[in-house]
Amino acid sequence: MHPGALLNLRRVLALPAIAALSVLAACGSESAAGPTDHSQLVVGILAPFTGADAVLGPAYYAACLPAVRVINAAGGAYGHTLTCQKFDTRGDPADAVPAAQQMITNNPNLMVVVGCTSDEASPVVPIMDRAHVPHFCMTGQSEFNKSSAKYFHRLVPPDEFDAYAMVGSALFKHNFKKIALVFGNDPGSQAFVDPATKAITALGGTVTINQAITLGQPSYRTEVTKMLKTHPDVIFTEALGGTDATYLKEVKTLNGSMIPVMGTSATIDPAWFSAVKDAIGVQDLVNNFTAVDLGVSFSGPGYTEFKTNLDASKDQFADAPKYSQRGSTLHLYDGIIMTALAMDLAKSKDRTVYNPKIIDIGNGTTGAVEYHTYKEAQDAINAGKAVRWVGAGGPTNFNQYNNSQQGYILVKYDTSGGEVQYDTLSQAQTNQVITAGGG
């Protein structure tokens, strides 16, 4: 069967599940006087746990575990305890649609969803919005810059800004002029290519080659040979699932030594570090690799609460502590906390009632005081005080499209895989690249 026909068949078969969403959206209402039950609520992690982008799911699962631990220790969200549940999209829209439908159909006590990457956000965000499920997505697609989805939230910049930060780092900090673009052929990775190309060209640089490489291949010898013939100053890359490791190992072999490599924020990941370290050696990785990452400080009481509970979650997920400096993990943790506080504020587990309160918690309302730990924020709400959450990832500033964006830091790895900040982009430099790229 033709792939397009197969996808259409899946969509037809999924129609009954879609029809059920309007029924589910009305579930879960409670009176403002207090919870009528103390049922456990589900935090859904809708992300790739298998497939080429399987490294993404664990980073988002690692956000849920400490958040649930913190909230449950304080008596729950409006008296309801939480649990984490994974829903595997396989990084493929054809698999993500039924996964999202089944998640909603089988979980009437679904509280919030995190994940929904660029691989699958386009088809699943409308499903979750129709079902009135708040969701915090790790998609960088520009279509969500002005999203009309009322239950959609994004705490990270769009991919084009990630691309602009890489261009600014290359041109302004390293004086790299000739740039090879080596990105996976998945939708999430390809989202960086066009904005990077426009900005590089507009600022006087050169794209020596643009390679959309198929993920998960045993060898990229042909592609590496072509790339090396263009003599780039640096390689821009995001190719997950071991692909970068294979590609860069062959770069070192065929070139006789490594050349500079710059990654997106998704390459600041323990699985990526481990694979590439084994492929090219830790010293070559430390000496030749840099990346851009979300502008977080990894400090303060909100971060301390997150990290303490992340470390304590290793009995549920042994690799959890490795995500203490993964920006996306921090931000999704904050999203879950904000949703729980929104329930406390609304005094309801009805998603249609507490969803608007998420913005009030994130941005703060008139007279709001900043709080950094869940219990103190919950106590303040119960005392009738206005609260603004400033947690592990720092302050949020939602706009009218439920997008909150921060700046970027320039980072590299140390020999143990820890993230080391070595510089920042000034606002003037960032604006220059954004303007050049048409952002």
Q: Which residues, 6+ apart, have CB-to-CB distance to 197 below 8 Å?
A: 181, 207, 210
Q: What angle do CA 271, 276, 281 make, to 5 degrees?
A: 130
Check: CATH 3.30.1300.10 for 41-158+301-389?
no
pLDDT tens by residue, 16-35? 444 444 434 434 444 444 55
3-state helix, strand, coil in the chain (%, to 5): 50, 20, 35
Ranges of each domain in the chain: 41-158+301-389, 159-296+408-437
Q: Measured between alpha carbons, how far is 6 from 98 in angstroms, rounded to an integer?
A: 13
Q: Which residues, 6+ apart, have CB-to-CB distance to 399 below 8 Å?
A: none
Segment among 19-33, 43-57, 114-128, 351-365 with least mean pLDDT: 19-33
Q: What is the mean pLDDT of residues 401-415?
A: 90
Would you state the pLDDT for residue 162?
A: 86
Element (H, E) at 437: helix 427-437
159-296+408-437 matches 41-158+301-389 in CATH topology: yes
Q: What is the mean pLDDT of residues 260-270?
A: 95
The answer, yes or no, to whether residue 314 has pLDDT greater than 50, is: yes
Collapsed DSSP state (helix, strand, coil) of residue 87:
strand
pLDDT tens by residue, 192-236? 999 999 999 999 999 999 999 999 999 999 999 999 999 999 999
Would you state the pLDDT for residue 35?
A: 58
pLDDT tens by residue, 84-141? 999 999 999 999 999 999 999 999 999 999 999 999 999 999 999 999 999 999 998 8
The answer, yes or no, to whether residue 3 has pLDDT greater than 60, is: no
Q: What angle do CA 242, 245, 246 make, to 5 degrees?
A: 90
Q: Which residues, 6+ apart, have CB-to-CB distance to 227 below 8 Å?
A: 180, 182, 208, 209, 211, 235, 251
Would you state the pLDDT for residue 7?
A: 41
The answer, yes or no, to whether residue 369 has pLDDT greater than 70, is: yes
- 297 class by beta-carbon count within 10 Å (0-12 exposed, 13-18 middle, 19+ buried): exposed
Residue 196 structure tokens: 């990077």
Q: Which CATH number fits domain 159-296+408-437: 2.10.70.10, 3.40.50.2300, 3.20.20.120, 3.50.30.30?
A: 3.40.50.2300
The answer, yes or no, to whether residue 320 has pLDDT greater than 80, is: yes
The answer, yes or no, to whether residue 263 has pLDDT greater than 90, is: yes
The answer, yes or no, to whether residue 10 has pLDDT greater than 80, is: no
Q: Is 408 or 114 the better-scoring residue by pLDDT?
A: 114
